[in-house]
Each structure stands twice: as structure tokens, then as C-alpha cells.
Amino acid sequence: MLTIIENLLNDEEVRRFRERLHAADWQDGAGTAGTRSIAVKQNLQLPRQDALAQELGNAVLRQLGQHPEFVSASLAEKIWPPVFNLYQDGGHYGTHSDAALMRLPEADLTIRSDLSATLFLSDPGSYDGGELIVEEQFGAQAVKLAAGDMVLYPSSSLHQVAPVTRGQRICAITWIQSAVADTPARALLYDLDQSIRGLTPERPKDDPEINRLIHIYHNLLRRWAQV
């Protein structure tokens, strides 16, 4: 299941991000590729220890932590520090899968990648190509979002970034360990929570049917969560 989180960053925040990243110390992204994916990865990245990457990454994490749509869709337990990447001049990332377990030595932390996320920072009209192509049960889906929007998708999916043939595609990517590892269970909880949120404004605060739905939601979460 692909989930679009719209306006994670507003226009002014996107503008500030792009201004800061314009003069960033971009380095060859092959340095962070696995032994097999290195052959299909051609992009630039900011090192995880880079001060600007950490500053902007923390700003993204703050937005994620307070965004109700992201919280509902991900049920995030742990989030990998966002990685900033740049594709240009034919840069691409061929079909690959994300590592199931990701080690963050400086935090003595291991994350199980349940969800992958891409936050688009470039105006989609400013570059050609660069679609994120995710292979799902019913076929491949190409994603190219407005600047400030994020897409969430299962880390178990095969995916790729199509070649950028004009302009620059700048994004932030991250991985999430969810409290509910099972993708279908997490999708059901998300649908139920969306229904509750959609119905609540039209009902009295003490509406028994809303309370029943909330009761069901939390009992399902209690059954499926691993914390």
C-alpha cells in the first residue's frame, strides 16, 4: 500500500531547505550502497555525519512526529535519520530492495525496515524523469509528487528511481520500524483510524458508536503491536 502524506513541509519550509541544500557538500551515493545495489545506484548524497544533513533531518523528524496522517499510517516506533540525495545528469537507482535490518552504530540502534519513505523537495516541473517506481501486488506504480509531499510504501517492495534526464531531483529518504510489523494489519488499522477521524467531527463528543470504533481500534492495536 502506498500512502501519500501531503504538505509535510509547506512552501516556505521547502524553499528554505532548497536554499540550504543548493551549496551542500554532496558526495557519491555509492558509498552507502550494498554489495549488489552499488551496481545500479548512481546519485549524490549528504553523509549522515554532515552538520546540514543532521539539522535538516531533525527538522523533518519533528514534522513527522506531529503529523497525524504519518502517525496513523506508520505507527512509527523507530525512524532512521533522514538521508538527503540528489539525482541529475542521468542519475538513477535501478531495481533494488531495502535492507531488512539497518544498524546505526553511533546510537547503538538497529532498525527493522517496515516502511520506506521519500520526501520530495524539488518542484516536479523542474526535472524530467526521477519517478519513484514501486512494484506492488497489482503492478508497478510511478510516484512523482509536489515538493513537500511524502510517500510511504512497504520496505519489502522492489523499487527504483528512474533516470533524471533534465534538472535536479532532490529528496529526503528514511525508513521506519512500525509498532505493527504486519503490512495488512497496519493497513486495516490505518483505514479504521481514517474512518474514525472522518466521522468524529459530525458526531457528539460522547457518541457511543464512535467510542465503540475507538475501542475496537485499540484492541486490534493491542493484539498486533510489538513494542
* Same-domain pairing of 193 and 92: no
User: Is 79 in the same domain as 112?
Assistant: yes
Q: Is 123 annotated as a binding residue?
A: no
What span, in angstroms and rounded, lies between the C-alpha atoms of 34 and 128? 27
The domain total for the chain is 2
Q: Is the pLDDT of residue 35 over 70?
A: no
Describe the crossing of helices 208-224 and 183-199 by its angle, rounded to 10 degrees: 160
- Using 50, 70 and 90 to split pLDDT, how confident is the model at 227? confident
Tell me the mean pLDDT in the region 90-103: 95
User: What is the SS3 assignment for 121-143?
Assistant: CCCHHHCEECCEEEEECCEEEEE
Same-domain pairing of 213 and 163: no
Which has the minimum average pLDDT: 24-33, 118-127, 129-138, 165-174? 24-33
Whether residues 101 and 187 fall in one domain: no
In the numeric block, the cell 532548497 is attached to 18
At residue 33, the pLDDT reads 59
Confidence tier at 61 by pLDDT (50, 70, 90): very high
Could you read off the pLDDT of 108-146 as tens digits, one per residue?
Answer: 999 999 999 999 999 999 999 999 999 988 889 999 999
Q: In the predicted model, is pLDDT for residue 172 greater than 80?
A: yes
Q: Which domain holds residue 78?
A: 3-178
> Is 169 annotated in some ligand binding site?
yes
C-alpha cell at 189: 488499522
Task: Judge if 18 and 97 occupy the same domain.
Answer: yes
121 and 151 in a common domain: yes
Bridge partner residues of 139 (DSSP):
136
Half-sphere exposure of 208 (CA within 13 A, CB side): 0
Note the pLDDT tens digit of each residue in 37-51.
556 889 999 999 999
- The SS3 call for residue 163 is coil
**173 plus 204 within the same structural domain:** no
CATH of the domain at 205: 4.10.860
Q: Are residues 76 and 128 in the same domain?
A: yes
pLDDT at 17: 97
Mean pLDDT, the chain, as a whole number?
94
Q: Are 180 and 187 in contact (CB under 8 A)?
A: no
Q: Are residues 161 and 75 in the same domain?
A: yes
pLDDT-above-70 percentage for the chain: 96
Note whether 170 and 24 are within 8 A (CB): no
Cell of 109: 540502534
Closest Cα partner for 43 from 132, 175, 141, 111?
A: 132
At 36, is the pLDDT very low, low, confident or very high (cuts 50, 70, 90)? Answer: low
User: Do residues 146 and 211 both lie within one domain?
Assistant: no
Residue 21, pLDDT > 80, answer yes
Q: Is 67 annotated as a binding residue?
A: no
Contacting residues for 84 by C-beta, under 8 A, at least 6 apart: 21, 24, 45, 46, 53, 56, 57, 170, 171, 172
pLDDT grade, residue 84 (50/70/90)? very high
12 contacts: CB under 8 Å, gap ≥ 6: none
186 is in an annotated binding site: no
169, 90 in Cβ contact below 8 A? no
